[in-house]
Amino acid sequence: MNATTGLTKMTSHELARIVFHHKELFILDVRNETEFSDWKIEGKGIEIINIPYFDLIDGVDSALDKIPENKPLLVVCAKEGSSVFVAEQIVEAGRTNVSYLEGGMKAWSEHLEPVKVGDLKDGGSLYQFVRIGKGCLSYMVLSNGEAAVVDTLRMTDVFEQFAREKNVKIAHTIDTHLHADHISGGRQLAAKEGATYWLPPKDATEVTFSYESLEDGKEIEVGKSKINIQPVYSPGHTIGSTSLIVDDQYLLTGDILFITSIGRPDLAGKAEDWVGDLRTTLYTRFKELSNDLIVLPAHFGKVTELGEGGKVAARLGDLYQDNPGLNITDEAEFRRTVTENLPPQPNAYQEIRQTNMGKINPSEEEQREMEIGPNRCAVHDQ
C-alpha cells in the first residue's frame, strides 16, 4: 500500500483468482476506446467501464459518480503509469478500497495461472496453464520426475519455475501445430532444458530448425511409468494439426476443437483447401474416439468457458451435444460457416507464423507487441 495515498496495487495473479472465483470487482479502464473495445478484462463478477485517461487528466470528478462506493475498484491502463495517476486522484477524492493493476494490461496479457486438471493413472498429474488475459492454454504432464509441456507459450520462465517446484525435469516440449496467434516457446524451452522439441511435419515444411516429427504411430513417454502421449492427426486448423491423447483420459485438441466453437481453417490462407480436412477430423475421426475423453483445447474464447477453479475442459461426448460447431449436419452449410463471416484475424498473425517458423527473430518487445489483443483462432466466439 502507498502510505501517503492509501492506494494498493493488485497483481495479475490476484486478479486471476478474483476472475476464477467469480468475486465482485469494479474496473475503470483508462485506455483509449479502440484498445478497450478490442480487448478488456472480463469475468462473471466483473463490472467495467471505459473512460480514457485524457478525459481524466484535469480531474476525476466526471468518473466518481459512475463508480459504485460499495465495490472494490481497480484502475487499469496499458502499462501501469496512467492508472496510478488516476487511482491516486480517486483516493484523494475520498474513495477507499482502490487499487491499480501492476504492470497494466501488458502484464495481464502475459500472466499464466497454473490449474490442476487431474491425476494420471500412475500417480502423475496434468496441469493447465491459463493465460487468462489472452485466452491461451498450455499444459504440463508430470510423471515420475519427468515432464512434457504442450503448446508452450513464450513466457518459458513460468514453466521452468513450476518444474523446479514440482522437482521434475522437462524432457519434451510439443506444439500441436504451427501457431498463428501467439509465439511458441517450445523450441526455446527445449533448448534451455535439453529436451526434445516435437512439431507436426506437415506444418514444418518451411521451418529453419530441427525438430522431432509429431505424427501418428509415435508415442512420447514421460517418466519411468510410461505415461503415453499418443498423437492423433487432426488437420483442419492447419494441415499438420495433431491432437494428443494423454493417459487414455485426456484429449489435447490444440486449436481444432474448443469448448464452445471449432478451429478456423483460414490463418494460412488455405480455408477452401482445409475445410474438408476440418470436417473429417471433427465429424469422423474424433467421433471414433471415446466419448469419455476430457477435451483440453489450446484456447478459450470467453471467460464463461472457465470452469471450477479456472479450468477449461469438457467431456468429448458432451461437446457433440452442446458445441454448435459439431452440429452442422449439412456439409455446404458447414463450409459456409467456417469460411465466411469469420472474426477478424489475429493481430500480426503473418509475422507470428514467420517467427514460429524461425524465419524472423523479433526482439522481446516486438514479440510482446505482436501478441497484444485477444486470440482469434475460433470460427465464432460464443
Q: What are phi and psi of 213, to 5 degrees?
A: -75, 120
Query: What one-character DSSP code corresponds to residue 277?
Result: H
What is each CA distance from 354 to 68, 106, 175, 179, 186, in whole angstroms? 46, 23, 15, 10, 15
Q: How many alpha carbons lie under 13 Å from residue 101 in its C-beta half-sphere? A: 29
Grid-cell match 484429449, residue found: 251
CB 300 within 8 A of CB 306: yes
Grid-cell match 519455475, residue found: 161
What is the maximum span of the chain, computed from C-alpha positions, in angstroms?
A: 66
Set 28, 63, 74, 77: catalytic member? 77
d(CA 145, CA 251): 22
What type of residue sits at position 20? F
The number of angstroms, rounded, from the C-alpha of 95 to the middle of its chain's C-alpha atoms is 35
| Spatial CB neighbours of 323, under 8 Å, sequence gap ≥ 6 | 257, 258, 259, 260, 261, 262
d(CA 372, CA 364): 13
Burial 202-218 (b: 16+ CB within 10 A, else e): bbbeebeeebbebbeee
Q: Nearest to residue 25, comparing CAs of 118, 115, 100, 79?
A: 100
Beta sheet of 242-246, edge-to-edge order = 220-222, 227-233, 242-246, 250-254, 294-297, 314-315
Q: 3-state class of 8 per DSSP?
A: strand
377 is catalytic: no
d(CA 135, CA 141): 20
**C-alpha cell read off for 114:** 497454473
Active site residues: 77
